[in-house]
Structure 1
Amino acid sequence: MGSVAHKDSAGILSKDGENGVDSSKNLDAGALFVLKSRGSWLHCGYHLTTAIVAPALLSLPFAFTLLGWSGGVVCLIAAGLVTFYSYNLLSIVLEHYAQLGKRHLRFRDMAHDILGPGWGRYFVGPLQLGICYGAVIACTLLGGQSLKFIYLVSTPNGSMKLYQFIVMFGGLTLIMAQMPSFHSLRHINLVSLVLCLAYCACTTAGSVDIGHSKNAPKRDYTITGVGLDRIFGVFNAISIIATTYGNGIIPEIQATIAPPVTGKMFKGLLVCYSVVIFTFFSVAISGYWAFGNQAQGSILSNFMVNGMPLLPKWFLLITYVFTLVQVSAVTLVYLQPTNVVIERKFADPKMGELSIRNTIPRLVFRSLSVIVATTLAAMLPFFGDIMALFGAFGCIPLDFILPMVFYNVTFKPSKRSLTYWGNTAIAIVSTMLAVVGAVASVRQIVLDAKTYKLFANM
């Protein structure tokens, strides 16, 4: 007997049958064209790894300077365990609804169905879109900085400015952003996985080599800052680590998996966190060991002193190239929520994906979104401070709080159970960290305001 598909008030496809999202005519263009459900658990692992294991992890040694050895290692382990648990909970909730015949393809759809329409439309949807687009701006800035590093290593007295390299990177993104669906990035994200392993191995080897060389800096592991500065520094470091583990697009990644989805996301998480363990801990520990509390915002900056490289130029160039190419893949991943909105607003699901009717709006509006992100990255080269604020306001709610709430509301575990109180405790502590982290981030922005300058050559 045939199954019946229909769409509910949230625009979520419902179907009488397991995990089915087969009646594509009932999906809006954003879900139909961008979030195609054709991938395997291995593809899911590639997407997850690119979304989490990004060049932002190169700031982990700097976070250790604010926490010290014990605090840094404890926070790194705790954040890893909590995010793995959180993402798995989110996946379980998604699988539960898929088995009921109502598969959620977007974070906002989950919030709409579990917490109510207002949560999806006015809180989760805008928050996720803002965080992901902010990540695109930050990645564009990082890509430009990587290009500039490559330029300075090969041409130490070069006169080109940072904003010129940002525009170059934006041009590359402009071309790659036209790839039609999230699923179409699977091979790029496999290359991204290999590259993140490569540049983290290079970074670790470089730190160890410098630490053992005659040019090794004098190492001091005392925590920087005193009094209030030290307290706020601790919360800044926690925000950095939380943001590094942050994702914010778990439902969209799970949406790329072909039905049935049961158990596949967990396998993808195992692939991702195998890479996380190697990369995060090797970079954080080796970088902090080599440079102590002199570790900079990106540990790669410590590889050059007064414009002079501490390692062979070819080694630095390879490391920067690996980082540059990988950050381009990360940029594409975090463009997907924006692409979903663009397709939903301007594409016609009744026409073919590659029809003239849909191709022209896709080309125009995706290009506009990349141009705006590139312009903002060039104008605001201090965007890292702003992203710390976004991380406190966005990454912590999406990755540490909402999954706990979704699980408790969906499955209603006994209030006497460890699961209920564990989830509740994580949500409460994360809320407190988000508030204090936001205050600390705003304070840091105020302190750094005197260095802010549009189109600065940083």
Structure 2
Amino acid sequence: MEARKQEEKLKSVNLDDWLPITSSRTAKWYYSAFHNVTAMVGAGVLGLPFAMSQLGWGLGTVAIVMSFVITLYTLWQLVEMHEMVPGKRFDRYHELGQHVFGERLGLWIILPLQIIVMVGTDIVYMVTGGQSLRKFHDLVCQGRGCNDIRLTFWIMIFASPHFVLSQLPNFNSISAVSGAAAVMSLAYSMIAFCTSAIKGAEATAGAIDYGLRATTTSGQAFGMLSALGTVSFAYAAHNVVLEIQATIPSTPEKPSKKPMWRGVVVAYAIVALCYFSVAFAGYYAFGSSVDPNVLITLDKPRWLIAAANLMVVIHVIGGYQVFAMPMFDMIETVLVKKHQFTPGFWLRFVSRSAYVAATMFIGLTFPFFDGLLGFFGGFGFAPTTYFIPCIMWLMVRKPKKYGLTWFINIICIVIGVLLTIIASIGGLRQIILDAKNYKLYS
């Protein structure tokens, strides 16, 4: 009797009008730009100079430029496939996967990878936020005798606002947070670029070592693998692009793909400016001695680097929410549909707070910035970003075999598969190496 009442209550509620992805479809094209910039220009851009130090000038430049081109192409594919069936919108990545691969297989192919990406990114953002807060504190307190505070506490401080922000109901409600984060990402990237370029120009000839970071052959090989994962981590928006597009209104006369693509183009222009400038200037300034987070390496001018680290904190607060929102959507869907919970404040409050607490706990337990970038970049990001969109495109659009489009997609698939394998290995090795010298909750 109770179960029947619960079922009738659920029927009276249109779940799509409550879930965070579909409850509001009033977004503008610039919301897409905000969310995409916030999703991409984050922890990834700060790790690119370190990736360059493991790859060198030649291979590093090729990896970053090629990743930019491939991911822009696969992002276009996803935007195009959002409404490829007349009258239907694939509001979530896994829904598109289910349409292409089948109801059950599509779910098992896409959903685990997407969860790894979104949870992994939020964990990395917890670490990034904590590290940037500590760097800000250290720079401000330099010479003033302040006490050293463990990274564990900084991560907890960074997590605190997320318990509040996570209660915002849907994607459109975080547009202001995302917009501020996008502005901050551009600002701190330009600070990193300018200060690195000046430092590199002031260095005496031959003072900077541009050789590969590792000294042993095995170290260099595994470093390259991890660096490729770091590069792939930098292009993360694919995992939330359909969810972002779902918030844009659409009619047969004005499909959502037009404003969505306009936002993506603006976002990628900003991404190009940030990524290429920071990656090359950071490596130019420090060579093989650059830290996994380039802003941690920089220390002069002190006030400017302190401000940049504070900007990183603001940005990753917004970035965390952009990746968390699809996770909230998944969690709430399962709790309501499978476990018969009633949609409402308490369900949202408890489930979202638990998610924030879980990512915080994992982040302060395993704060290995460079290893996490490499591992998550290879294992999760590479499939959903580099080759799964191409496989779906071949299956749905069926381009002429051995034609130009067919070859482009096959090349992307081969590169993506190789990247998934080698970057995962490199990232996992880096985590193991970091763990040897790590003291728990230090």
TM-score higher than 0.5: yes
Q: Kindly report which structure 2 residues correspond to 1:160-239, keeping only aligned pairs within 5 A, or say none.
A: 160-213=149-202, 218-225=207-214, 226-239=216-229
Q: Deviations over 1:39-82 (max 9, x none)?
A: 12221111111101113211111111112112211211110000
Q: Does 1:105 align with 2:96?
A: no
Q: Deviations over 1:359-412 (max 9, x none)?
A: 121111111111111121112222542342222111000000110011111111
After superposition, the Cα gap between the structure-2 partners of 1:54 and 1:363, relative to the gap in structure 1 and judged at 3 Å, is same
After superposition, the Cα gap between the structure-2 partners of 1:432 and 1:256, relative to the gap in structure 1 and judged at 3 Å, is same
**Counterpart in the other structure of 1:298:** 293
**Counterpart in the other structure of 2:3:** none
**Counterpart in the other structure of 1:306:** none
SS at match of 1:95: coil
| Cα contact 1:59–1:299 (8 A) shared by 2 | yes
Identity %: 28
After superposition, the Cα gap between the structure-2 partners of 1:62 and 1:217, relative to the gap in structure 1 and judged at 3 Å, is farther
Structure 1 range deviating more: 226-235 or 365-374? 226-235
**Counterpart in the other structure of 1:74:** 62
Give TM-score, length-normalised by structure 2.
Answer: 0.89
Distance 1:187 1:37 in 2: 16
SS at match of 1:221: coil
Distance 2:112 2:437 in 1: 30
After superposition, the Cα gap between the structure-2 partners of 1:166 and 1:184, relative to the gap in structure 1 and judged at 3 Å, is same
Q: Deviations over 1:310-331 (max 9, x none)?
A: x132212211111111110001
Q: Deviations over 1:180-207 (max 9, x none)?
A: 1011122222222211111011111211
The structural deviation recorded for 1:429 is 2.1
**Counterpart in the other structure of 2:260:** 265
Distance 1:343 1:29 in 2: 13
CA RMSD of aligned residues (A): 2.2
Aligned length in residues: 418
Distance 2:347 2:205 in 1: 55
After superposition, the Cα gap between the structure-2 partners of 1:427 and 1:250, relative to the gap in structure 1 and judged at 3 Å, is same
Give TM-score, length-normalised by structure 1.
Answer: 0.86
SS at match of 2:26: coil
Distance 2:178 2:434 in 1: 35
The structural deviation recorded for 1:217 is 9.2
Q: Kindly report which structure 2 residues correspond to 1:27-426, keeping only aligned pairs within 5 A, or say none.
A: 27-28=15-16, 31=19, 36-97=24-85, 100-156=86-142, 157-213=146-202, 218-225=207-214, 226-247=216-237, 248-259=239-250, 260-303=255-298, 309=299, 311-346=300-335, 358-382=344-368, 384-426=370-412
Distance 2:428 2:332 in 1: 34
SS at match of 1:273: helix
Segments of structure 1 that go 5 or more residues without pairing to the other structure are 1-23, 304-308, 349-355
Distance 2:170 2:152 in 1: 29
The structural deviation recorded for 1:414 is 1.2
Distance 1:176 1:92 in 2: 31
Letter aligned with residue 162 of structure 2: T
| Cα contact 1:400–1:426 (8 A) shared by 2 | yes
After superposition, the Cα gap between the structure-2 partners of 1:37 and 1:86, relative to the gap in structure 1 and judged at 3 Å, is same
The structural deviation recorded for 1:143 is 0.8
The structural deviation recorded for 1:249 is 1.4
